Amino acid sequence: MQKKLPDSVDFLKQVERSACFEGAWPVSDFPRLAEVVCSNQGEVTARLKFGTRAGTNCLDGHVQAELELRCERCLEPVKQHIESDFRFGLITSDDEADSLPKEFEPLLAQDYELSLVELVEDEILLSLPIVARHDEECSEILKKHKDDDRVQHDTYKPFAALKDLMS
């Protein structure tokens, strides 16, 4: 297991320090994520780098996790690799959001600590697939339906009736 990251930090102080955090949290530390996964096993790894880019205080991040989600076809667990890169422009008022370069997503960071756990959890939740499913046909109904389609496709000839009209 990688080094456990702090739950919250003062973002603006971390920019001054050009801090970089690398490590992980257990999946069980994310309460909203726990509602959509089948298992709280595993960890979410993150790399968070604070700094200044193009005259803007920013936070560049990369998060990834192997999560066990529920397959929407068969309702059995399916492992999914989730990965996300993000770049936040740290602002101290809503007015600053309009002047941010397009490459930054605004994040309101004032002179107090903000939760890294919530930030990473948001990014993981946004990166989840709309529909989790196995790569192959995983239910008997789908396998049977695919076989039926194949048989029907082989025997169905839409222009066969035209042959009778020709004679």
Q: State the amino acid at position 3 in one-letter form.
A: K
**Alpha-carbon distance values, 113 to 6, 9, 56, 70, 107 (Å):** 11, 5, 19, 35, 13
Map tokens 């602002």 to a residue.
Answer: 91
| pTM as predicted | 0.76
Q: Percentage of the chain with pLDDT > 90?
A: 32
Rounded to an integer, what distance in angstroms lies between the CA atom of residue 17 and that of residue 33?
Answer: 31
Give the lowest-confidence range in 91-100, 106-115, 145-154. Answer: 145-154
61 in a structural domain = yes
137, 143 in Cβ contact below 8 A? yes
How many structural domains does the chain have?
1
163 in a structural domain = no
Range of the domain at 41: 8-136
Give residue-wise pLDDT tens across range 38-66. 988 889 999 999 999 888 899 999 999 99
